[in-house]
Amino acid sequence: MEVAGFEVFEAENAAAGIAIARKEKPDIIIMDVRLPDMRGSEAARILRQDKETSGIPIVFCDCFCNGRRQRRDKTYN
């Protein structure tokens, strides 16, 4: 995404990602469903409850399905 000219912020876990989202207010959040410290759906709920981040679109990515590496994307509204 950086090659395409987008500014990218990375986080090691959900708590760091939530903090970055609150500080930077990105145009979109791309998040893994499985995070080290909590599920992506819980992180999304936290972001939705915060008036500063509630309007940011969130796209979930999951690359593990049935023991094989695959890509599945789902938009969370």
| Mean pLDDT over the full length of the chain | 87
Per-residue pLDDT for 18 more than 90? yes
Pick from 62, 74, 55, 7: nearest CA to 32: 62
pLDDT value at residue 68 = 54
64: tokens are 């593990």
pLDDT value at residue 71 = 47
Please write the tens of the pLDDT for every residue from 31-49.
999 899 999 999 999 999 9
Which residue type sits at 44? A
Residues in Cβ contact with 67 at an 8 Å cutoff, skipping those fewer than 6 apart? none
What's the whole-number mean pLDDT along residues 68-74?
49
With 0-12 / 13-18 / 19 or more C-beta atoms within 10 angstroms meaning exposed / middle / buried, residue 46 is: middle
